[in-house]
């Protein structure tokens, strides 16, 4: 079996990596329907998304999740034991509201709507994953996804995620996810697909 290039090997993400991760995810989500709904201005979307993902990393998922990156992609995961703590605190909410401006109420309503349809079972949650468009198709996102799925499989737990980009659904389905619900976000927002993956046993076991 060919060895995966070192640049594709997931590495732990720290606060030192925040500028790179913020820029990478901003580029990855520039064409995402939900992010375009939250950040409708073409001229300001890039800077807004960079601040948004940097804040999520440094104040939320970096503290209570498992954050990893390659040379061109990043992913934020939340294990079952971290899900209650991963709820944004008051200061994080304030910073996100400042970043989102007049779109903050739409963001709040979207988060609440998604939470109402969230799973009640113990699970791993894939909060964010994205690759720089210049490196798509090179396996960066797949490497990060496999690493997280391996942890969930080792714990015999399912994985949940939400996708707001229909073209990404086949990618997740390739890794064993299935759509469990299609949500229409409040305020005329784009659809959101909740997906679940059953734990899988390693080959040969």
pLDDT per position as a tens digit, 11-45 = 999 999 999 999 999 999 999 999 999 999 999 99
pLDDT per position as a tens digit, 116-163 = 777 889 999 999 999 999 998 899 999 999 999 999 999 999 999 999
Question: For residue 156, is it left (φ>0), alpha (ψ between -120 and 50) or beta?
Answer: left
On the question of pLDDT at 1 being above 50, the answer is no
Dist. CA 175–CA 142, nearest whole Å: 9
On the question of pLDDT at 205 being above 90, the answer is no
Where are the domains positioned within the chain?
11-150+159-197
CATH second-level architecture of 11-150+159-197?
3-Layer(aba) Sandwich (3.40)
pTM: 0.92
Task: Output phi, psi for 192, to 5 deg.
Answer: -135, 130
């Amino acid at each position: 079996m060919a060895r995966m290039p070192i640049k594709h090997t997931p590495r732990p993400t720290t606060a030192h990596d925040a500028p790179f991760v913020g820029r990478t995810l901003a580029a990855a989500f520039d064409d995402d329907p939900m992010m375009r709904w939250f950040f409708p201005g073409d001229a300001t979307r890039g800077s807004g998304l960079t601040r948004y993902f940097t804040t999520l990393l440094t104040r939320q998922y970096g503290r209570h999740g498992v954050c990893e990156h390659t040379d061109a992609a990043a992913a934020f995961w939340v294990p079952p034991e971290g899900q209650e703590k991963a709820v944004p605190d008051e200061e994080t909410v304030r910073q996100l509201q400042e970043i989102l401006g007049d779109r903050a109420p739409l963001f709040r309503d979207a988060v609440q709507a998604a939470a109402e349809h969230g799973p009640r079972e113990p699970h791993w949650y894939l909060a964010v994953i994205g690759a720089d468009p210049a490196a798509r198709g090179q396996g960066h996102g797949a490497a990060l996804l496999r690493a997280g799925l391996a942890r969930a499989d080792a714990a015999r737990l399912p994985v949940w995620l939400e996708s707001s980009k229909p073209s990404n659904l086949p990618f997740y389905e390739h890794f064993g996810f299935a759509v469990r619900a299609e949500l229409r976000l409040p305020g005329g927002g784009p659809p959101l697909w909740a997906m679940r993956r059953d734990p899988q046993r390693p080959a040969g076991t």
